Structure 1
Amino acid sequence: MKLSKIAMLAAIACASYTSSMTASGNDTIELVSHCAAACDCGEPVCGCETVVGCDPCGDACDSGCGDAGCCDAGCDGGCDSACGCGVGGGLGSLLGDCCLGDQWSLFGEHCGWSAGGWVQMGYHDRALPIFNDRPDEYNLHQAWLYAEKAIDTSCGFDIGGRIDYVYGIDAQNTQAFGTGNRGWDNDWDNGGANGYGHALPQAYFEAGYGDLSVKIGHFYTIIGWEVVTAPDNFFYSHAYTMNYSEPFTHTGALATYNVNENVTAYGGYTMGWDSGFDDNGDSFLGGLSVALSDDLTLTYATTFGRLGAAPLGNPEQGYMHSIVADVTLSDNLQYIFQSDYLDTETSAGATVRETFGINQYLIYTLSDCWAAGGRFEYYNNEGIFGAPGNDSDIYALTMGLNYKPHANVVVRPEIRWDWDDDQVAGLESGDDQTTFGIDTIFLF
């Protein structure tokens, strides 16, 4: 590593601090607790227990519940239709009672440190050129372990950090492949180019004071809405934009400043895209997140500079941004709009990649156990599936469900339609394809 880069990292570490950002990163998917919503108790009511500090059975729950009241009686008290008890009223009555109970942890928390993970396994009947590239097999996608000490700066200065390990067919997509075989964990493969592998996608130190903190090391990007970690996405499959136009990981320093309760600013230095602890570039990573109202949050994130050389075989430099609008349309309905733009070139000025994408998500929470969602993507690219100068338009529509039979288990069936105006490498049918997939995530 260049001495100038070490000096820059040290300067950033001494001058600024960031707030804690975990691997879950950028998206927020929460199943609404209908019992809490109906009784207006300001926190989730897991399993419909009585909430301390408020009247869980006020006007919304009095009728038809008797003296005990709906929430006090619990889901077995015969008051499902009046209070909801996590099943969403009339529609919930068709789905049955939904009492998830508490999510358990295998390791728990000790002295401020927590550890956990998940196992994700799934099947899809057609190959996609993004993550899900082993069809007609029951795949282990992610066997994930993490250890973390999240910082708490409410009482002053605090330090922490996080490390993640993953094994499975998704591991090669989150290795430090940006620097080729010399980079970090990129050669930890097991089974060939599309086989299994290991990865250490995060290993960072974090320190903070008040509204400022800094993260130094190897960490996930802040760009985009979809992430690599399976429990933090609604859908089993991924968008083209996320895979081909956004970085996955960075190595460097990232600062965050909570300007106020509605505005958060990010800024830092990274050694290119998807790099380990070696020289792969010089780039800025930063952005701004603004809560414009209780129902609308707008996030702009960008990276620009020298992004690296290994991924596409050329020295690549340029600019990329992602704009995400997260809108709460109702207590049950969430809408996300995302627009990405990427423009990179070689040192000689030749185009390497130029892409533009629009992703739209609509997620409806039926109950604590059930949610339904749709995703529609338009992706225009040049230099991804063909030589620079030839662009193509790709469209993808995905419909899916999330079912939680237990607080630690999520089942995600989906059906996906892909089509394009030119043949795209990786789509089995050329210009159109229908894919069915289903996976299960076990959290611990």
Structure 2
Amino acid sequence: MKLSKLAMLAAIACASYAGNATAGGNDTIQLVSHCAAACDCGEPACGCEAADLGCCDTDSACCDSGCDGGCDSGCGLGIGDCLTGGDCCLGDPWSLFGTEGAYSVGGWIQMGYHSKAVPLFNSRPDNFQLHQAWLYAERAIDTSCGFDIGGRIDYVYGTDGPDTQAFGTGNRGWDNSWDHGNDYGHAIPQLYMEAGYGDMSVKVGHFYTLIGYEVVTAPDNFFYSHAYTMYNSEPFTHTGVLGTYNASDDLTVWGGYTLGWDSGFDDNGDNFLGGFSASVSDSLTLTYATTIGRFGEARFQGVEKGYMQSIVADFALSDKLNYVFQTDYLDTEDNTGATVRETFDINQYLLYSVNDCLGYGARFEWYNEEGVFSPVGTSADIYALTLGVNYKPHANVIVRPEVRFDWDDDQVAGLEDGTDQTTFGFDTIFLF
């Protein structure tokens, strides 16, 4: 099985193209504003104020229906127009704290409901719940004029809190004991300082991983639910040092040292974390990320060490349609050389943006695993198809209904209905 997986992985790596989606990537609906496009005002240059809309003086239709019409209140034309592809001008989002120079403070509230248990964050079925009450404070660095220093802290409370803690170190680690009963808990998934000069920057502290396509932060995912791959075969956070080098406009390279997977500020491992993101063409970007070494000592009753990689391809089929291909490979062993986990997967996403207010998406996943749900040496295949919608009635609000179909012939993944399951779910995100 191991040789067949590696052969398949090599074939895919050679044949596939790639994507700009890293763990910090954002696949939410983002289109050029209708107002800017209709007025042809262009976008402001770096460091300049937003281009004024004086061009509207020569275009009364633009003034009436675009730049001065309905942009502050949301969709403006109503959900019917949005669903049929009508123009949508969301305007500027409201901010509770806002941005002052390089400093920004903000967050979001994510609340949701799902009908069946899916053991991937969505493990509290038939309950309307608070998933994420999120706050962050950041000083972003700007190295265009030389050296700069900043940092960031994130705090989350909700049913996603325990999954976001530094659980890789067991009860001894960082925020892992901050639970609040009934699946709720607190976490600080990021706390780091960052310094940079020119094209180089370095993070030191606790930060999100580079691995994979989906991320913990709800507004940065298209779907409400998550992939098996993301939850079971990828780290969420690391603690250590990570350098970023912008080699050119088309190439970014990462490299650093971290204390294992999902660890706090204590010694849980030692591994290399790195990779690159390359724009192959105007419509195609390739991202490769890897972590190699000792991943942890708490989760598997001893040392887990090995190799993990993620390849993500993002191809813009048109101005509105994106295809994303992801494949991960994880192979780890204990101190005796016995396999602890071996997983391989293919995730595919098709995302279509109707306008700024509305998008449709589909995700299909094949997850092949050993040591996660089934015993090592007993390979199991799990499949999941998710169909979803992103609707923005306001610049600060995202509504994400979805239907998900899971197939698990070996009954190893813990689905509520056993082998085949259909789950309906939706969530709402309020940004501030």
Whether the 8 Å contact between 1:26 and 1:222 is mirrored in structure 2 is no
Flag the 1:389–1:147 CA change in 2: closer, same or farther, 3 A: same
Matches within 5 A, 1:222-371: 222-371=210-359
Structure 1 segments unaligned to the other structure (5+ residues): 1-22, 45-49, 58-66, 79-84
Q: Counterpart of 1:164 in structure 2: which amino acid?
A: D
Corresponding residue of 1:4: none
Flag the 1:42–1:360 CA change in 2: closer, same or farther, 3 A: farther
Q: With CA pairs under 8 Å and 6+ residues apart, which has the higher RCO, 1 or 2? A: 2
Counterpart of 1:438 (choices 421, 426, 432) is 426
Flag the 1:97–1:325 CA change in 2: closer, same or farther, 3 A: closer
Distance, in Å, in 1 between the alignment partners of 2:76 and 2:322 is 18
Distance, in Å, in 2 between the alignment partners of 1:24 and 1:351 is 27
Q: Counterpart of 1:374 in structure 2: which amino acid?
A: A
Matches within 5 A, 1:27-426: 27-33=26-32, 35=34, 36-37=36-37, 42-43=42-43, 52=52, 68-75=59-66, 92=82, 94=84, 98-110=88-100, 112-191=102-181, 195-426=183-414
Q: Counterpart of 1:231 in structure 2: which amino acid?
A: P
Flag the 1:143–1:384 CA change in 2: closer, same or farther, 3 A: same
The TM-score normalised by the length of structure 1 is: 0.85
The number of equivalent residue pairs is 401
Flag the 1:105–1:53 CA change in 2: closer, same or farther, 3 A: closer
Distance, in Å, in 1 between the alignment partners of 2:66 and 2:228 is 42
Deviations 1:374-404 (A, max 9, x none): 1010100000112111110011000000010
Deviations 1:45-85 (A, max 9, x none): xxxxx95389679xxxxxxxxx634433334999xxxxxx9
Deviations 1:219-245 (A, max 9, x none): 000111100000000000000000001
Identify which range, 309-318 or 113-122, moves more after superposition. Answer: 309-318
Structure 2 segments unaligned to the other structure (5+ residues): 1-21, 45-49, 70-74
Identical counterparts, % of pairs: 67
Whether the 8 Å contact between 2:86 and 2:355 is mirrored in structure 1 is no
Whether the 8 Å contact between 2:373 and 2:413 is mirrored in structure 1 is yes
The TM-score normalised by the length of structure 2 is: 0.87
Flag the 1:163–1:77 CA change in 2: closer, same or farther, 3 A: closer
Whether the 8 Å contact between 1:314 and 1:352 is mirrored in structure 2 is no
Whether the 8 Å contact between 1:86 and 1:367 is mirrored in structure 2 is no
Flag the 1:323–1:93 CA change in 2: closer, same or farther, 3 A: closer
Distance, in Å, in 2 between the alignment partners of 1:210 and 1:86 is 42
Task: Tell me by how many angstroms 1:32 deviates.
Answer: 1.5
Q: Counterpart of 2:233 in structure 1: which amino acid?
A: S
Whether the 8 Å contact between 2:324 and 2:348 is mirrored in structure 1 is yes
Distance, in Å, in 1 between the alignment partners of 2:33 and 2:257 is 43
Task: Tell me by how many angstroms 1:284 deviates.
Answer: 0.2
Deviations 1:397-435 (A, max 9, x none): 000000101100000000000002311242011111000
Q: Counterpart of 1:32 in structure 2: which amino acid?
A: L
Flag the 1:377–1:349 CA change in 2: closer, same or farther, 3 A: same
Corresponding residue of 1:47: none
Deviations 1:236-275 (A, max 9, x none): 0000000001000000000010000000000000000000
Q: Counterpart of 1:187 in structure 2: which amino acid?
A: S
Whether the 8 Å contact between 1:75 and 1:97 is mirrored in structure 2 is no
Distance, in Å, in 2 between the alignment partners of 1:395 and 1:119 is 30
Distance, in Å, in 2 between the alignment partners of 1:234 and 1:313 is 35
Whether the 8 Å contact between 1:324 and 1:337 is mirrored in structure 2 is yes
Deviations 1:154-201 (A, max 9, x none): 000000000000000001111000000000000000115xx1000000
Whether the 8 Å contact between 1:24 and 1:232 is mirrored in structure 2 is no
User: What secondary structure is seen at the aligned counterpart in 2 of 1:190?
Assistant: coil
Whether the 8 Å contact between 1:234 and 1:402 is mirrored in structure 2 is yes
User: What secondary structure is seen at the aligned counterpart in 2 of 1:291?
Assistant: strand
